[in-house]
Amino acid sequence: MYRRKISTVLQQRLMGPRSFIQVVMGPRQTGKTTAIKQAVKACGLPCRVASADSSRELAGDWIDLEWRQARQLTSNGSRAILVLDEIQKVMGWSETVKALWDEDSWNDTELLVVLSGSSSLLLGSGLTESLAGRFELLRSTHWSLSEMSEAFGYSFEDYLMFGGYPGAAILKSDVNRWREYMRDSIVESTISRDVLQMEDVRKPALMRALFELGAQYSAQEISYRKLLGQLDDKGNTDTVRHYLDLLSKAGMMSGLQKYDARQVRSRASSPRLLVHDPSLMFSMWRGAGDLLADSALRGHLVETAVGARLIARAQTEGFELYWWREGNLEVDFVAKRGDGALAAIEVKSGRVSKSGMTEFLAQNPQAKPMIVGDRNVSVEQFLRDEVELF
Protein backbone atom coordinates (compact mmCIF):
# COMPACT_ATOMS: atom_id res chain seq x y z
CA MET A 1 0.00 0.00 0.00
CA TYR A 2 1.30 3.44 -0.95
CA ARG A 3 2.40 5.59 1.97
CA ARG A 4 2.41 9.37 1.87
CA LYS A 5 5.07 11.53 3.45
CA ILE A 6 2.52 12.80 5.99
CA SER A 7 2.25 9.27 7.45
CA THR A 8 6.02 8.93 7.83
CA VAL A 9 6.25 12.33 9.52
CA LEU A 10 3.43 11.39 11.92
CA GLN A 11 5.20 8.13 12.79
CA GLN A 12 8.44 9.99 13.54
CA ARG A 13 6.63 12.40 15.84
CA LEU A 14 4.81 9.61 17.68
CA MET A 15 8.08 7.77 18.21
CA GLY A 16 9.66 10.85 19.75
CA PRO A 17 9.04 12.38 23.19
CA ARG A 18 5.44 13.13 24.18
CA SER A 19 5.46 16.86 23.52
CA PHE A 20 2.45 17.83 21.41
CA ILE A 21 -0.97 16.67 20.30
CA GLN A 22 -0.75 15.67 16.62
CA VAL A 23 -3.54 17.10 14.46
CA VAL A 24 -4.15 15.76 10.94
CA MET A 25 -6.43 18.09 8.98
CA GLY A 26 -7.63 18.05 5.39
CA PRO A 27 -10.58 17.57 3.03
CA ARG A 28 -12.63 14.38 2.99
CA GLN A 29 -11.27 11.38 1.11
CA THR A 30 -7.66 12.58 0.95
CA GLY A 31 -6.34 9.62 2.93
CA LYS A 32 -6.15 11.00 6.49
CA THR A 33 -7.40 7.82 8.16
CA THR A 34 -5.12 5.60 6.07
CA ALA A 35 -2.09 7.78 6.82
CA ILE A 36 -2.83 7.67 10.56
CA LYS A 37 -3.42 3.91 10.49
CA GLN A 38 -0.10 3.32 8.70
CA ALA A 39 1.77 5.54 11.17
CA VAL A 40 0.20 3.90 14.23
CA LYS A 41 0.85 0.40 12.90
CA ALA A 42 4.49 1.26 12.19
CA CYS A 43 4.91 2.53 15.76
CA GLY A 44 3.83 -0.83 17.20
CA LEU A 45 2.18 0.77 20.24
CA PRO A 46 -1.24 -0.18 21.69
CA CYS A 47 -3.92 2.12 20.29
CA ARG A 48 -7.53 3.13 20.79
CA VAL A 49 -9.43 4.64 17.83
CA ALA A 50 -12.79 6.42 17.99
CA SER A 51 -14.72 8.53 15.48
CA ALA A 52 -17.21 11.34 16.07
CA ASP A 53 -18.43 11.20 12.46
CA SER A 54 -21.95 10.09 13.31
CA SER A 55 -25.44 11.54 13.00
CA ARG A 56 -25.94 11.84 16.75
CA GLU A 57 -24.74 14.87 18.64
CA LEU A 58 -21.74 14.23 20.87
CA ALA A 59 -20.47 16.25 23.81
CA GLY A 60 -17.28 16.43 25.84
CA ASP A 61 -18.21 13.40 27.97
CA TRP A 62 -17.72 11.20 24.87
CA ILE A 63 -14.10 12.38 24.64
CA ASP A 64 -13.66 11.89 28.37
CA LEU A 65 -14.87 8.28 28.16
CA GLU A 66 -12.66 7.41 25.19
CA TRP A 67 -9.65 9.12 26.77
CA ARG A 68 -10.01 7.27 30.08
CA GLN A 69 -10.27 3.93 28.30
CA ALA A 70 -7.13 4.76 26.32
CA ARG A 71 -5.34 5.58 29.58
CA GLN A 72 -5.82 1.99 30.68
CA LEU A 73 -3.42 0.98 27.90
CA THR A 74 -0.69 2.88 29.79
CA SER A 75 -1.42 1.32 33.20
CA ASN A 76 1.92 -0.50 33.34
CA GLY A 77 3.85 2.64 32.47
CA SER A 78 4.07 1.89 28.75
CA ARG A 79 3.16 4.29 25.95
CA ALA A 80 -0.12 4.15 24.03
CA ILE A 81 -1.91 6.12 21.32
CA LEU A 82 -5.41 7.62 21.24
CA VAL A 83 -6.86 8.58 17.84
CA LEU A 84 -10.00 10.73 17.75
CA ASP A 85 -11.41 11.22 14.24
CA GLU A 86 -13.65 14.13 13.10
CA ILE A 87 -13.08 15.68 16.52
CA GLN A 88 -14.50 19.07 15.51
CA LYS A 89 -18.02 17.59 15.52
CA VAL A 90 -17.98 17.18 19.31
CA MET A 91 -19.45 20.13 21.19
CA GLY A 92 -16.83 21.90 23.29
CA TRP A 93 -14.16 19.45 22.14
CA SER A 94 -11.16 21.73 22.51
CA GLU A 95 -11.75 22.58 26.17
CA THR A 96 -12.17 18.90 27.06
CA VAL A 97 -9.05 17.87 25.14
CA LYS A 98 -7.06 20.67 26.80
CA ALA A 99 -8.10 19.60 30.30
CA LEU A 100 -7.34 15.91 29.70
CA TRP A 101 -4.01 16.56 27.94
CA ASP A 102 -2.87 18.86 30.75
CA GLU A 103 -3.92 16.26 33.33
CA ASP A 104 -1.82 13.61 31.58
CA SER A 105 1.13 16.00 31.35
CA TRP A 106 0.96 16.65 35.10
CA ASN A 107 0.73 12.94 35.90
CA ASP A 108 3.43 11.90 33.37
CA THR A 109 0.94 9.65 31.59
CA GLU A 110 2.52 8.47 28.34
CA LEU A 111 -0.65 8.73 26.22
CA LEU A 112 0.04 10.08 22.73
CA VAL A 113 -2.92 11.79 21.09
CA VAL A 114 -3.80 12.15 17.40
CA LEU A 115 -6.79 14.28 16.36
CA SER A 116 -8.11 14.41 12.82
CA GLY A 117 -10.76 16.41 11.03
CA SER A 118 -12.04 16.97 7.51
CA SER A 119 -13.01 20.57 8.04
CA SER A 120 -11.01 23.53 9.27
CA LEU A 121 -14.17 25.51 10.04
CA LEU A 122 -14.34 24.63 13.72
CA LEU A 123 -11.17 22.59 14.03
CA GLY A 124 -9.01 25.63 13.38
CA SER A 125 -10.82 27.88 15.84
CA GLY A 126 -10.69 25.28 18.59
CA LEU A 127 -6.96 24.79 18.12
CA THR A 128 -6.08 28.46 18.27
CA GLU A 129 -8.47 29.35 21.09
CA SER A 130 -7.93 26.47 23.55
CA LEU A 131 -4.96 24.39 22.47
CA ALA A 132 -2.41 27.07 21.62
CA GLY A 133 1.10 25.75 22.22
CA ARG A 134 -0.10 22.17 22.68
CA PHE A 135 -0.38 20.87 19.11
CA GLU A 136 1.42 20.32 15.82
CA LEU A 137 -0.53 20.40 12.56
CA LEU A 138 -0.16 18.02 9.63
CA ARG A 139 -2.12 18.99 6.53
CA SER A 140 -3.53 16.26 4.32
CA THR A 141 -3.96 17.97 0.95
CA HIS A 142 -5.27 16.62 -2.34
CA TRP A 143 -2.73 14.27 -3.91
CA SER A 144 -0.21 15.41 -6.51
CA LEU A 145 0.24 13.79 -9.92
CA SER A 146 3.40 12.12 -8.64
CA GLU A 147 1.53 10.50 -5.74
CA MET A 148 -1.42 9.36 -7.90
CA SER A 149 0.99 8.05 -10.52
CA GLU A 150 3.03 6.03 -8.02
CA ALA A 151 -0.01 4.71 -6.15
CA PHE A 152 -2.49 4.12 -8.98
CA GLY A 153 -0.61 4.45 -12.26
CA TYR A 154 -2.23 7.75 -13.25
CA SER A 155 -1.11 9.42 -16.46
CA PHE A 156 -1.11 13.18 -16.98
CA GLU A 157 -4.47 12.92 -18.78
CA ASP A 158 -5.88 10.78 -15.95
CA TYR A 159 -4.90 13.43 -13.43
CA LEU A 160 -6.59 16.24 -15.38
CA MET A 161 -9.85 14.29 -15.24
CA PHE A 162 -9.74 12.32 -11.99
CA GLY A 163 -7.43 14.49 -9.89
CA GLY A 164 -6.05 13.75 -6.44
CA TYR A 165 -8.77 11.74 -4.65
CA PRO A 166 -7.26 8.31 -3.92
CA GLY A 167 -10.56 6.75 -2.84
CA ALA A 168 -12.10 7.37 -6.27
CA ALA A 169 -9.19 5.92 -8.27
CA ILE A 170 -10.70 2.44 -8.41
CA LEU A 171 -13.67 3.84 -10.38
CA LYS A 172 -11.83 5.71 -13.14
CA SER A 173 -12.52 2.99 -15.72
CA ASP A 174 -16.25 3.82 -15.44
CA VAL A 175 -16.57 7.59 -15.79
CA ASN A 176 -20.31 7.73 -15.09
CA ARG A 177 -19.96 5.71 -11.91
CA TRP A 178 -16.95 7.81 -10.89
CA ARG A 179 -18.95 11.04 -11.41
CA GLU A 180 -21.80 9.76 -9.26
CA TYR A 181 -19.36 8.83 -6.50
CA MET A 182 -17.69 12.24 -6.63
CA ARG A 183 -20.98 14.13 -6.52
CA ASP A 184 -22.64 12.01 -3.84
CA SER A 185 -19.80 10.83 -1.59
CA ILE A 186 -17.46 13.79 -1.79
CA VAL A 187 -19.20 16.99 -2.93
CA GLU A 188 -22.56 16.46 -1.25
CA SER A 189 -21.06 14.83 1.86
CA THR A 190 -18.65 17.72 2.32
CA ILE A 191 -21.31 20.38 1.89
CA SER A 192 -23.99 18.69 3.99
CA ARG A 193 -21.77 17.25 6.76
CA ASP A 194 -18.75 19.54 6.94
CA VAL A 195 -20.29 22.91 6.11
CA LEU A 196 -24.02 22.95 6.77
CA GLN A 197 -23.65 21.17 10.13
CA MET A 198 -20.77 23.38 11.20
CA GLU A 199 -22.09 26.82 10.27
CA ASP A 200 -25.42 28.64 10.20
CA VAL A 201 -26.00 28.59 6.45
CA ARG A 202 -29.35 30.22 5.84
CA LYS A 203 -29.56 29.30 2.18
CA PRO A 204 -28.19 25.77 1.62
CA ALA A 205 -29.55 25.68 -1.93
CA LEU A 206 -27.60 28.85 -2.72
CA MET A 207 -24.38 27.34 -1.41
CA ARG A 208 -24.84 24.18 -3.50
CA ALA A 209 -25.66 26.24 -6.59
CA LEU A 210 -22.64 28.46 -5.94
CA PHE A 211 -20.29 25.47 -5.85
CA GLU A 212 -21.76 23.92 -8.99
CA LEU A 213 -21.54 27.21 -10.86
CA GLY A 214 -18.04 27.85 -9.52
CA ALA A 215 -16.89 24.44 -10.76
CA GLN A 216 -18.09 25.40 -14.24
CA TYR A 217 -16.17 28.69 -14.09
CA SER A 218 -13.06 27.35 -12.39
CA ALA A 219 -9.89 29.33 -13.24
CA GLN A 220 -11.98 32.26 -14.47
CA GLU A 221 -12.75 35.66 -13.04
CA ILE A 222 -16.40 36.36 -12.41
CA SER A 223 -17.82 39.47 -10.76
CA TYR A 224 -20.09 39.10 -7.75
CA ARG A 225 -22.85 40.82 -9.72
CA LYS A 226 -22.58 38.34 -12.59
CA LEU A 227 -22.32 35.47 -10.12
CA LEU A 228 -25.50 36.56 -8.37
CA GLY A 229 -27.23 37.01 -11.71
CA GLN A 230 -26.69 33.35 -12.60
CA LEU A 231 -27.87 31.93 -9.27
CA ASP A 232 -31.57 31.12 -9.05
CA ASP A 233 -31.66 31.56 -5.28
CA LYS A 234 -30.08 34.99 -5.12
CA GLY A 235 -28.39 36.35 -2.04
CA ASN A 236 -26.18 39.39 -1.69
CA THR A 237 -22.49 39.95 -2.28
CA ASP A 238 -21.55 39.49 1.39
CA THR A 239 -23.46 36.18 1.53
CA VAL A 240 -21.71 34.84 -1.55
CA ARG A 241 -18.32 35.98 -0.26
CA HIS A 242 -19.01 34.24 3.07
CA TYR A 243 -20.11 31.03 1.35
CA LEU A 244 -16.96 31.06 -0.78
CA ASP A 245 -14.93 31.35 2.41
CA LEU A 246 -16.73 28.35 3.92
CA LEU A 247 -16.21 26.27 0.77
CA SER A 248 -12.52 27.19 0.81
CA LYS A 249 -12.12 26.09 4.44
CA ALA A 250 -13.85 22.82 3.57
CA GLY A 251 -11.26 22.16 0.84
CA MET A 252 -13.63 22.59 -2.09
CA MET A 253 -13.37 25.95 -3.85
CA SER A 254 -11.75 29.35 -3.32
CA GLY A 255 -12.27 32.79 -4.74
CA LEU A 256 -8.75 34.08 -5.39
CA GLN A 257 -8.36 37.83 -5.02
CA LYS A 258 -6.28 40.05 -7.29
CA TYR A 259 -2.79 40.80 -6.11
CA ASP A 260 -2.38 44.41 -5.07
CA ALA A 261 0.06 45.95 -2.63
CA ARG A 262 -2.91 47.81 -1.20
CA GLN A 263 -4.83 45.04 0.52
CA VAL A 264 -8.09 47.02 0.60
CA ARG A 265 -8.26 46.95 -3.19
CA SER A 266 -7.32 43.30 -3.24
CA ARG A 267 -10.16 42.29 -0.93
CA ALA A 268 -12.69 44.38 -2.87
CA SER A 269 -11.83 42.80 -6.24
CA SER A 270 -13.88 40.25 -8.14
CA PRO A 271 -12.73 36.71 -7.35
CA ARG A 272 -11.12 34.21 -9.66
CA LEU A 273 -12.97 31.00 -8.82
CA LEU A 274 -10.82 27.92 -8.39
CA VAL A 275 -11.78 24.44 -7.22
CA HIS A 276 -9.18 22.70 -5.05
CA ASP A 277 -8.80 19.69 -7.34
CA PRO A 278 -9.30 19.32 -11.13
CA SER A 279 -11.61 16.35 -10.55
CA LEU A 280 -14.13 18.69 -8.93
CA MET A 281 -14.40 20.63 -12.20
CA PHE A 282 -14.52 17.50 -14.34
CA SER A 283 -17.10 15.74 -12.15
CA MET A 284 -19.46 18.73 -11.96
CA TRP A 285 -19.17 19.72 -15.63
CA ARG A 286 -22.60 20.06 -17.26
CA GLY A 287 -21.76 22.71 -19.82
CA ALA A 288 -21.65 22.41 -23.58
CA GLY A 289 -18.45 21.04 -25.08
CA ASP A 290 -15.91 18.41 -24.18
CA LEU A 291 -13.53 19.58 -21.45
CA LEU A 292 -10.62 17.66 -22.92
CA ALA A 293 -11.30 18.10 -26.64
CA ASP A 294 -12.18 21.80 -26.67
CA SER A 295 -8.91 23.77 -26.51
CA ALA A 296 -10.37 26.68 -24.51
CA LEU A 297 -12.13 24.41 -22.01
CA ARG A 298 -9.05 22.21 -21.71
CA GLY A 299 -7.05 25.36 -21.02
CA HIS A 300 -9.28 26.18 -18.06
CA LEU A 301 -8.94 22.59 -16.82
CA VAL A 302 -5.14 22.75 -17.05
CA GLU A 303 -5.11 26.13 -15.25
CA THR A 304 -7.40 24.64 -12.61
CA ALA A 305 -5.00 21.72 -12.08
CA VAL A 306 -2.02 24.09 -11.71
CA GLY A 307 -3.97 26.42 -9.42
CA ALA A 308 -5.17 23.51 -7.28
CA ARG A 309 -1.57 22.36 -6.75
CA LEU A 310 -0.67 25.90 -5.75
CA ILE A 311 -3.50 25.93 -3.21
CA ALA A 312 -2.26 22.62 -1.77
CA ARG A 313 1.34 23.83 -1.64
CA ALA A 314 0.28 27.13 -0.09
CA GLN A 315 -1.07 25.17 2.88
CA THR A 316 2.11 23.14 3.40
CA GLU A 317 4.71 25.74 2.32
CA GLY A 318 3.09 28.78 3.95
CA PHE A 319 2.41 31.32 1.22
CA GLU A 320 -0.64 33.24 -0.03
CA LEU A 321 -2.08 32.84 -3.52
CA TYR A 322 -3.52 35.58 -5.74
CA TRP A 323 -3.89 36.45 -9.40
CA TRP A 324 -3.19 39.75 -11.17
CA ARG A 325 -4.78 41.83 -13.88
CA GLU A 326 -4.43 45.37 -15.09
CA GLY A 327 -6.58 46.38 -18.05
CA ASN A 328 -6.51 43.40 -20.42
CA LEU A 329 -3.12 42.18 -19.16
CA GLU A 330 -3.10 39.36 -16.63
CA VAL A 331 -0.89 36.92 -14.75
CA ASP A 332 -2.56 33.64 -13.86
CA PHE A 333 -1.19 33.25 -10.33
CA VAL A 334 0.90 35.27 -7.88
CA ALA A 335 2.40 33.52 -4.84
CA LYS A 336 3.45 35.73 -1.93
CA ARG A 337 5.54 34.42 0.95
CA GLY A 338 5.60 35.93 4.42
CA ASP A 339 9.09 37.36 3.92
CA GLY A 340 7.87 39.33 0.91
CA ALA A 341 9.15 36.94 -1.77
CA LEU A 342 6.97 36.90 -4.90
CA ALA A 343 6.49 34.39 -7.70
CA ALA A 344 4.53 35.24 -10.85
CA ILE A 345 3.21 32.12 -12.56
CA GLU A 346 1.85 32.04 -16.11
CA VAL A 347 0.23 28.87 -17.49
CA LYS A 348 0.57 28.13 -21.21
CA SER A 349 -2.53 25.99 -21.58
CA GLY A 350 -3.79 26.69 -25.08
CA ARG A 351 -6.30 29.27 -23.87
CA VAL A 352 -5.96 32.64 -25.59
CA SER A 353 -5.13 35.46 -23.17
CA LYS A 354 -2.82 38.45 -23.19
CA SER A 355 0.12 37.86 -20.90
CA GLY A 356 0.85 40.58 -18.39
CA MET A 357 4.12 39.10 -17.15
CA THR A 358 6.28 41.93 -18.55
CA GLU A 359 4.12 44.62 -16.97
CA PHE A 360 3.85 42.77 -13.65
CA LEU A 361 7.63 42.39 -13.45
CA ALA A 362 8.06 46.06 -14.28
CA GLN A 363 5.89 46.91 -11.28
CA ASN A 364 7.33 44.13 -9.09
CA PRO A 365 10.95 43.61 -10.19
CA GLN A 366 11.70 41.38 -7.18
CA ALA A 367 9.22 38.73 -8.39
CA LYS A 368 10.45 35.42 -9.81
CA PRO A 369 8.78 34.74 -13.18
CA MET A 370 7.72 31.24 -14.17
CA ILE A 371 6.03 29.98 -17.34
CA VAL A 372 4.38 26.62 -16.73
CA GLY A 373 3.96 24.78 -20.00
CA ASP A 374 7.07 25.92 -21.83
CA ARG A 375 10.17 23.82 -22.55
CA ASN A 376 11.74 24.75 -19.18
CA VAL A 377 8.82 23.88 -16.90
CA SER A 378 6.22 21.44 -18.20
CA VAL A 379 2.71 21.27 -16.74
CA GLU A 380 3.37 17.66 -15.81
CA GLN A 381 6.53 18.60 -13.87
CA PHE A 382 4.59 21.25 -12.00
CA LEU A 383 1.76 18.88 -11.10
CA ARG A 384 4.35 16.46 -9.74
CA ASP A 385 5.60 19.18 -7.34
CA GLU A 386 9.02 19.08 -8.95
CA VAL A 387 9.32 22.87 -9.37
CA GLU A 388 10.54 25.33 -6.74
CA LEU A 389 8.45 28.48 -6.58
CA PHE A 390 10.76 30.96 -4.86
Query: What predicted TM-score, i.e. pTM, was given to this entire model?
Result: 0.91
Least Cα distance to 371 among 326, 318, 341, 332 occurs for 332
For residue 235, what pLDDT is reported?
A: 67
Whole-angstrom distance, CA of residue 92 vs CA of residue 272: 36
Query: Residue 109 pLDDT more than 70?
Result: yes
pLDDT in tens, 337-359: 999 999 999 999 766 566 899 99
- Mean pLDDT within 137-165: 97
Report the chain's C-alpha Rg in angstroms.
22
Whole-angstrom distance, CA of residue 253 vs CA of residue 279: 12
Query: Residue 251 pLDDT more than 70?
Result: yes
pLDDT in tens, 28-69: 899 999 999 999 999 999 999 999 887 577 888 999 999 999
Residue type, 90: V
pLDDT in tens, 195-211: 887 677 888 888 899 99
Helix/strand/coil for 174: coil
pLDDT over 90, % of the chain:
71
* DSSP element (H, E) containing 65: helix 60-71
Least Cα distance to 299 among 313, 278, 280, 323 occurs for 278
Q: Does residue 183 contact residue 215 with C-beta atoms inside 8 Å?
A: no
Query: Residue 264 pLDDT more than 60?
Result: no
When pLDDT is cut at 50, 70 and 90, the band that residue 11 belongs to is very high
| Average model confidence (pLDDT) across the chain | 91
3-state secondary structure the chain: CCCCHHHHHHHHHHHCCCCCEEEEECCCCCCHHHHHHHHHHHHCCCEEEEECCCCCCECHHHHHHHHHHHHHHHCCCCCEEEEEECHHHECCHHHHHHHHHHHHHHHCCCEEEEEEECCHHHHHHHHHHHCCCCEEEEECCCCCHHHHHHHHCCCHHHHHHHCCCHHHHHHCCCHHHHHHHHHHHHHHHHHHHHHCCCCCCCCHHHHHHHHHHHHHCCCEECCHHHHHHCCCCCCCHHHHHHHHHHHHHCCCEEEECECCCCHHHHHHCCCEEEECCHHHHHHHCCCCCCCCCCHHHHHHHHHHHHHHHHHHHHHHHCEEEEEEEECCEEEEEEEEECCCCEEEEEECCCCCCCECHHHHHHHCCCCEEEEECCCCCCHHHHHCCCCCCC
Query: Residue 165 pLDDT more than 60?
Result: yes
Q: Does CATH place domain 5-139 in 3.30.470.20?
A: no
Q: Where are the domains of the chain?
A: 5-139, 145-383
When pLDDT is cut at 50, 70 and 90, the band that residue 107 belongs to is very high
For residue 195, what pLDDT is reported?
A: 83
- Mean pLDDT within 291-302: 92
Between 353 and 294, name the one with better pLDDT.
Answer: 294
